[in-house]
Amino acid sequence: MTKRIEIAPAPEPLEAYARHFDALLGKSNQRDEFRRYLEGLLLPSERQKTLTGLVNTEPEVGAQQPRAQKLQWFLSESTWDERQVQAERLTLLREDPATAPSTDGVLVIDETGDRKDGQHPAHVGRQYLANLGKIDNGVVSVTSLWADERVYYPVDVEPYTPAHHFEKGKEDPQFRTKLKITVELVRRAVQAHITFQRW
């Protein structure tokens, strides 16, 4: 068996958390960039939704820096299974008494939108963006979140794809309404043993 290449660890206790995912990330550069990604999410910044914000560099020019390019590769081209990483994250939350879901909590379904230019990129179109309070060009995702009086955390997310991206529009078998996506998110939560109140 080949010895794994050493990588730069994340600061503790983040490193202890990141190690739970190492078996799902077969390459050393994947494990390394996963840690940089987690570090970026925890930066005290308002730009965590941007690549340059995650690597703590200035917009536009900073996107050409090697650390930004490495993270771009990890997020968009590297071959790791998002569903497996998601399952491990939910397992860790379920097994920790401080975050274990119970029937005292609820599963919250919501949608979030971000303005985006163009019509052809995946999931982009003119649609209602709740955070802007108007119809604009953007991308919308349906999200699920578990919450009780003590704690809350995201469970899952699925992008909504406007009908114009499909050959037959709303009649296309691949088209899913936000309601259909909601049903899928609830089904996934149940499969992941996320317990919650049911009325």
pLDDT in tens, the chain (199 residues): 556 678 989 999 999 999 999 999 999 999 999 999 999 999 887 776 788 888 888 888 888 999 999 999 999 999 999 999 999 999 999 999 999 999 999 999 999 888 887 766 788 888 888 888 888 889 999 999 999 999 999 999 999 999 988 999 999 999 999 999 999 999 999 999 999 998 6
- Nearest partner of 194 among 157, 154, 159, judged by Cα: 154
Give yes or no: residues 116 and 164 share one domain.
Answer: yes
pLDDT of residue 3: 66
Query: Is 116 inside a domain boundary?
Result: yes
Domain presence at residue 183? yes
Taking the C-alpha atoms of residue 39 and residue 56, their distance in angstroms, rounded to an integer, is: 10
Do the domain assignments include residue 5? no
Asked whether residue 76 falls in the same domain as residue 104, the answer is no
56 in the same domain as 134: no
Domain membership of residue 19 as a residue range: 14-80
Residue at which a domain ends, from 80, 108, 133: 80
Question: Is position 3 within any domain?
Answer: no
Please give the Cα distance from 178 to 161 (Å, whole number).
9
Let me know if residue 45 belongs to a domain: yes
Residue 24's SS3 state is helix
Report the run of H or E that residue 160 belongs to, with start and end: strand 152-160
Domain shared by 110 and 140, yes or no? yes
Question: Are residues 170 and 140 part of one domain?
Answer: yes
Domain tally, the chain: 2
Residues 53 and 109 in one domain: no
Cα 190 to chain centroid distance, Å, stands at 19
Residue 129 domain-assigned (yes or no): yes
User: Does one domain contain both 74 and 113?
Assistant: no
Residue 180 lies inside a defined structural domain of this protein: yes
Cis status, amide bond into 13, omega within 30 of 0: yes
User: What does the pLDDT read at residue 93?
Assistant: 97
Is residue 185 included in any domain, yes or no? yes
Q: Do 115 and 178 lie in a common domain?
A: yes
Are 166 and 175 within 8 A, CB to CB?
yes
